[in-house]
Structure 1
């Protein structure tokens, strides 16, 4: 079976996040930009992947068209055992473009699609191709976008709990918002705080110490730059709280540096950024060796979400799947991966990633 084409589809789905906002730099994001990667074969089978692209969908699409497609087109589709070597060769061929950022986002999209294809060939869900599923339902946490006002933070937390979520993550950088959330949800609900890399070491340590009484499960990415693992380790040791990081890390090699430095209690591989399923599995194995917990980064709405659910089903470690707390105008999966009243998402049981994307939705929200 040969790869005949690799194509990037830019899908833009509007959303409503209520009182919250989603900003990257100075720009407010008003829609979910998804780059779906389609790998076609000469047998008619298709694999679907997902390349990270929040504010750079055109750039990610160009990377797939100009770097990934020429590398993969015409090659034999590897089976599961052959995917790591196949992707190692792709990484080697593209290393001069850098081993992080857009290059790895595009590589991730191809990798996910190849695993989807490998499982489809066998007629089994991805988790069965890799191992033995230990969970059929994955608990979700509401990943709130940044709000700022403590009273509004408290209100959104309470609404999320009423909708069934069993845990909350904030994207706030001020302690009053953190304490407002804890008071609103009570002592028994897990609370996480994602800072998105704004602080130097001293400020991050002070913030961690100030938040202790709110008992967050972890602080996520408190330090700038995110690859300053020595400072991150200092925040972990002096701040008195667990520290999570990794959504901005690519390949198992950077995670090894992070863990060796003692920087994190929770590693956060992002399947659409780290290098796909192949690298995610390496990171998971390394985390187990190092005694570091997994807390995958997964606020996706494309095939990356399905891949994350499949991978999380292989572990009974009590981890939550991250879900952006917002109302979407449409769903590529016809609502089948929405959070249910019990606060969980069912792991798809169909071949490959589990579902085919809704072609009608893809066409309706396609960006030319």
Structure 2
């Protein structure tokens, strides 16, 4: 199958419920700004991919990078060579870094090619990468950053009422996190994502308070994260990280860090399904947990759902604060609920609704 067209799609998805965008600098709180990618073969098969994106400056950069840098490398090539193409494209653009905009843009094309390959073979993505170990994945409510104990607690009460299986907050203030934890029953897994807000010294100073939270894991606690490579474990506190890493090799390096017990490959920041599969293979014998990062509502969300279904240890699909109207598929990818079904259709399992794409397309 020969790649004939590669089309980046810039979308603006309105948000009717007011969002707190304090953890997304320069992101207007009334909308999400996404970049999808549609790839078409000469035989007419179509696949979809997605970049990690939520704000306009990144949207513009990713759209242009797909169109002007990555697409010319792929046009006229074979879908069956997608893993080789991914590897060669990384090497070709290595001067621009092994993580970031180029790799993120690459992910959208790569994921679309896996979607096409699955459709051609009549197999789901999870079937192509080793088979699904489960038919449903429990949902974790992933909250925006509120930086306010009352607001985050109120939102968590709504998440608990929706019946989610776990909860994650994005907060840096330990007092706010402690207030949030009091809302979540002890039996419900709870994650605190600090977005690299603290130093290791600060985390160690408050070890007893972190321990008392009974966290599933403490996500991205320190900056720079490299300091974790040479430090002992944090007593009774499991660190999770990896969502911003760009290769299987980088994830494998952090697997050696004593405090790290959870790795979070992000299908977009890794550069697509091809590298995510390499990462899962590299970490197959690692005793920790693999928790794919899932801040997506489009094709990357579907790809991540397949990855979670394929890993040995059960995990959660972390659903961001979204609404049913924001779901391009209409099967619940944006809904807080107890669990979500793993698609069984070929490729990613669903295509975005064409009317939804037209409705949210940005001019130009």
What RMSD in Å do the two structures reach over aligned CA positions?
2.0
Change (3 A) 1:340 1:146: closer
What is the rounded CA distance, in whole Å, between the counterparts of 2:18 and 2:205 in structure 1? Answer: 31
Q: Which runs of 5+ in 2 are unaligned?
A: none
Equivalent residue runs for 1:1-368 within 5 Å: 1-18=1-18, 20-25=20-25, 27-55=27-55, 56-78=58-80, 82-225=81-224, 228-231=225-228, 234=231, 237-238=233-234, 240-327=236-323, 329-339=325-335, 341=337, 343-368=338-363
* Deviation (angstroms), 1:325: 2.4
Q: 1:280-333 CA deviation, whole Å, 9 max, x = no partner?
A: 122222233222211111010110001011111123522001111233643211
Q: Which runs of 5+ in 1 are unaligned?
A: none
Whether the 8 Å CA contact 1:34–1:301 is kept in 2: the answer is: no
Per the normalisation by structure 2, the TM-score is 0.93
Whether the 8 Å CA contact 1:17–1:325 is kept in 2: the answer is: no
SS in structure 2 of the partner of residue 313 of structure 1 = helix
What is the rounded CA distance, in whole Å, between the counterparts of 2:348 and 2:70 in structure 1? Answer: 21
Per the normalisation by structure 1, the TM-score is 0.92
Change (3 A) 1:50 1:208: farther
* Deviation (angstroms), 1:336: 4.3
Whether the 8 Å CA contact 1:67–1:94 is kept in 2: the answer is: no
SS in structure 2 of the partner of residue 198 of structure 1 = coil
What is the rounded CA distance, in whole Å, between the counterparts of 1:108 and 1:230 in structure 2? Answer: 28
* Deviation (angstroms), 1:261: 3.2
Whether the 8 Å CA contact 2:163–2:336 is kept in 1: the answer is: yes
